[in-house]
């Protein structure tokens, strides 16, 4: 159980299911004394194994394991050849890491409204394209895929690269296809509250072998160098460049591999819980978040109230009943971040102040997300439904 007073169940996903498998995988690496992915006294190649397994999950030929979701987004854009100063369209509702990655890749973020999916509004995309636009970053937010088909259509029409921010969506699908394999590259996070976790970690998924080569080299110092042990890495087939170090460790990879078999069943269970709650509150006039593909969702329970005040009342009532709930990002778009708003990067001001995103602000501020945990019992679901119905009238003035 969580340490927070009054909580009936944990909202952790992968972490709630941790057990002996993770401990055994970690201890095997520790005992081998080979925590670095390329060499050691008894190297088990756990990172190589994780990359193969994750490629199968994402339905792509290639995965590069890295140190975080932000590192994955950065490496994906570098691998795709983003020019310095190029514009990347990013939804106004996302974690600041999406913007950080664009900056790290020497790009310029351009922000777009979201619609009632809380993901990038495809109808707004074409109007933001200029001669400087290089790509678009749809964000699969809170285990819900962005509406990718119309986004991909606009991208193809304008020759844009598509980098999927799937940090919050491992195991999620869109119309029968896994996210991370729909655009030109995908990026995943394995931070603590994600669907699989090692505390931190990330992965880049790609199809094009040349892009894979650039991503793999970028996250490993450029790939073409000589070590003290006399080994040179990198094929040498492409022009050399200086990279960075965002490599994944063997320990991280081993812990993540232990969780992959649980990912699909966990997403199914949480998807079923969300469906049950919606079905058992179907007589109420609830405006649920629109899901571009409910079958592919990883289990989301987000609704919109009539006002920010009503959303706050509903959250407070649920908390009092012991049900975890919140307004996503505290109702603030990513452009509310001062550095983002003012275009401030480590090397100076790089873009003009963006406009207000009133549609996104309105939807976000009126939203309530009810936390679902991987270890929820049937009794937990029953209590959730009861609390939802009881607090609905107090928040909305409508009988529940």
Q: Under CATH, what is the fold of the domain 263-396? A: 3.90.1150
Structure token pair of residue 159:
């020759």
- Higher-pLDDT residue of 232, 217: 217
Position 233 scores a pLDDT of 63
Residue 235's pLDDT band (cuts 50, 70, 90): low
Position 29 scores a pLDDT of 98
Reference 136, options 82, 175, 217; nearest CA is 82
Cβ atoms of residues 62 and 184 within 8 Å: no
Q: pLDDT (tens digit, 9 = 90+) per residue, 371-390?
A: 999 999 999 999 999 999 99
Q: Enter the pTM of the model.
A: 0.95
**Mean predicted lDDT score pLDDT of the chain:** 94
Position 5 scores a pLDDT of 44
- Checking if the pLDDT of 6 tops 70, the result is no
Position 9 scores a pLDDT of 80
Residue 366's pLDDT band (cuts 50, 70, 90): very high
Position 162 scores a pLDDT of 98
Position 224 scores a pLDDT of 76
Delimit the domains of the chain by residue range: 14-259, 263-396
From residue 15, alpha-carbon distances to 151, 195, 243 in Å are: 33, 8, 32
- Checking if the pLDDT of 39 tops 50, the result is yes
Residue 4's pLDDT band (cuts 50, 70, 90): very low
Find the angle CA(357)-CA(135)-CA(202) to the nearest 5 degrees: 90
**Overall CATH class of domain 14-259:** alpha beta
Helix or strand or coil: residue 29?
Answer: helix
Position 169 scores a pLDDT of 98
DSSP tag of 14:
G
């Amino acid at each position: 159980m969580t340490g927070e007073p009054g909580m009936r169940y944990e909202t952790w996903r992968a972490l709630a299911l941790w057990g002996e498998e993770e401990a055994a995988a970690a201890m095997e690496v520790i005992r081998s004394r080979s925590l670095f992915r390329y060499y050691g006294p008894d190297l088990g190649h756990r990172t190589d194994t994780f990359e193969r397994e994750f490629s199968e999950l994402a339905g792509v030929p290639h995965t590069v394991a890295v140190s975080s979701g932000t590192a994955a987004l950065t490496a994906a854009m570098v691998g795709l050849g983003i020019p310095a100063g190029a514009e990347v369209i990013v939804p106004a509702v996302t974690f600041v890491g999406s913007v950080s990655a664009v900056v790290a890749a020497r790009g310029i973020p351009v922000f777009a409204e979201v619609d009632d999916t809380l993901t990038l509004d495809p109808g707004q995309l074409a109007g933001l394209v200029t001669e400087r636009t290089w790509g678009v970053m749809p964000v699969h937010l809170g285990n819900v895929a962005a509406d990718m088909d119309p986004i991909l259509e606009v991208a193809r029409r304008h020759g844009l690269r598509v980098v999927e921010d799937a940090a919050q969506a491992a195991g999620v699908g869109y119309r029968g296809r896994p996210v991370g394999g729909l655009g030109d590259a995908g990026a995943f996070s394995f931070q603590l509250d994600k669907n699989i976790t090692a505390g931190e970690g990330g992965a880049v998924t790609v199809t094009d072998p040349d892009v894979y080569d650039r991503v793999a080299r970028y996250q490993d110092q450029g790939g073409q160098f000589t070590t003290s042990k006399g080994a040179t890495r990198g094929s040498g087939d492409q022009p050399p460049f200086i990279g960075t170090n965002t490599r994944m460790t063997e320990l991280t990879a081993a812990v993540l591999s232990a969780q992959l078999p649980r990912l699909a069943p966990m997403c199914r269970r949480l998807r079923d819980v969300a469906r049950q709650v919606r079905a058992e509150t179907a007589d109420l006039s609830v405006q649920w978040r629109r899901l571009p593909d409910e079958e592919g969702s990883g289990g989301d329970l987000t609704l919109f109230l009539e006002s920010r005040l009503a959303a706050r009342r509903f959250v407070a009532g649920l908390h009092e009943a012991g049900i975890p709930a919140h307004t996503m990002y505290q109702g603030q778009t990513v452009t509310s971040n001062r550095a983002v708003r003012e275009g401030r990067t480590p090397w100076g001001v790089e873009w003009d102040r963006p406009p207000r995103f009133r549609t996104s602000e309105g939807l976000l501020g009126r939203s309530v997300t009810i936390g679902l945990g991987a270890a929820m019992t049937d009794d937990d679901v029953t209590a959730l439904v009861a609390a939802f119905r009881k607090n609905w009238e107090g928040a909305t003035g409508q009988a529940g």
